[in-house]
Structure 1
């Protein structure tokens, strides 16, 4: 622990597993007080038990206005302010273009874009001067990949939102940036809608384009999130940091 985030208050949505969980763990290890928000809060009890004085677990869904308001109110009651906000909650589905109905697109955008957008809007009154907002986008906004039109579009919207909010909120002392993870071994990968054989085939073809020849781990993204939330990144605004192990080089 280097205390890079000592006494800072962070809120992370979608924190029950994968990248969100790893970011929460890294923030706690750097001295932050962390509010973790997810639909499956039972998976977060271990974190709360390990850091009881600095962890608050709140259950809920980012698509629910009432849940987001409750999250903000609970956070303010417990810690009084917010220094770091990571609207990480998201879903990924492989949907062929011909099957991309309005309903399928709406489900993806409701979580990935509207959920993140409304999370920041809900917390805006509580964000301190000098605070940091970190969106999670994807390397897939940089390249074309079959079957992820809705997913990639929702994340591209977040990338644009990052730049817009950086300009709009910057004068209020709020830094806004994004991290675009590359192929990462998280539970979401197994819920994209492909069978085991299809997953294996995609994994092999994707890994072949990576410099390390293997998928990244959630902690690779979490370490970038620590830096962006720290005072060392005080001059970084409106940027999307691509951490993709070289996938988009070719």
Structure 2
């Protein structure tokens, strides 16, 4: 029996990068999948890839109307919902606060927190009763930036820290009928996280970083030298979304390729020269 057989899974922000990889894995595990995606171009790409196998709708997670329309579409087609997976996000370009224009701070804060946090809260509110009917699950995306500095700038890190708290509180409020957990990825190959529109960086993506530079930085920092694809994170989301998870709620799994367990003093490890001399600001940022 496949992990998500007889499950209906809704993925917000599933049009590219991590969300698309998770969607592909959920399909492979037997789920019926619905995707809410804000970009019309990505919606067209999803329809071209999946055809009628996936319910795809264009919509913004910040819009109550769009989320309610998505709910109506899910109910009409499937009649139920077993899991809500949130993967949408906006990056902040790893911009230090000292270099952030003062007049841009309010709009930058609003943009990142509305997409990265409010979108999850609204989705949880609108879909929770459907999930309760099936003893369902919510899985949200935090980041290693929520646990340690320099995984992003101040606003991205703060928003991902807020996601951890959302997971904790909703797990408490929604128990025992709905399990709520999170995943905190680090590096993701071909990450499609875009920069903030409020800083004029929405045309930029993390995948614009030259691949060889990203790999070199990643391999220096990570005990596990493999840079995971979005699909490789899929099984974590699928397990937490499935009925097989009868053990965990209110937890955020750190999937960091050993980042937080790396050596910082040992001299004879690869990259030890730079470690011994003190690691400067990384040239690339992780998820």
Q: What TM-score do the two structures reach when normalised by structure 2?
A: 0.79
> Is contact 1:25–1:47 with CA below 8 Å preserved after alignment?
no
RMSD, aligned α-carbons: 2.1
Structure 2 Cα separation of the partners of residues 156 and 110 of structure 1: 14
Counterpart pick for 2:188 among 184, 195, 205: 184
> Is contact 1:97–1:147 with CA below 8 Å preserved after alignment?
no
Aligned to 1:245: 257
Structure 1 Cα separation of the partners of residues 190 and 122 of structure 2: 25
Q: Give the number of the structure whose alpha-carbon radius of gyration is greater.
A: 2
1:74-89 superposed matches below 5 A: 74-89=73-88
Change (3 A) 1:193 1:178: closer
Change (3 A) 1:237 1:146: closer
Change (3 A) 1:211 1:109: same
1:61-210 superposed matches below 5 A: 61-94=60-93, 95-98=95-98, 99=100, 101-127=105-131, 128-145=133-150, 148-171=153-176, 173-188=177-192, 191-192=204-205, 196=209, 204-210=216-222
1:19-38 superposed matches below 5 A: 19-38=18-37
Q: What TM-score do the two structures reach when normalised by structure 1?
A: 0.90
Structure 1 unaligned residues grouped into runs of 5+: none
Q: How many residues align?
A: 244
Q: Which moved more, 1:188-197 or 1:34-43?
A: 188-197
Change (3 A) 1:147 1:163: closer
Shift of 1:204: 3.0
Aligned to 1:43: 45
Aligned to 2:275: none
- Per-residue displacement from partner, 1:51-104 (whole Å, max 9, x unpaired)? x3x421111111112111111111111111110101211111222212161111
- Per-residue displacement from partner, 1:108-147 (whole Å, max 9, x unpaired)? 1110000111111111222134201000110111111075
Relative to its length, the structure with more strand (as a share) is 1
Shift of 1:48: 2.8
Change (3 A) 1:31 1:166: same
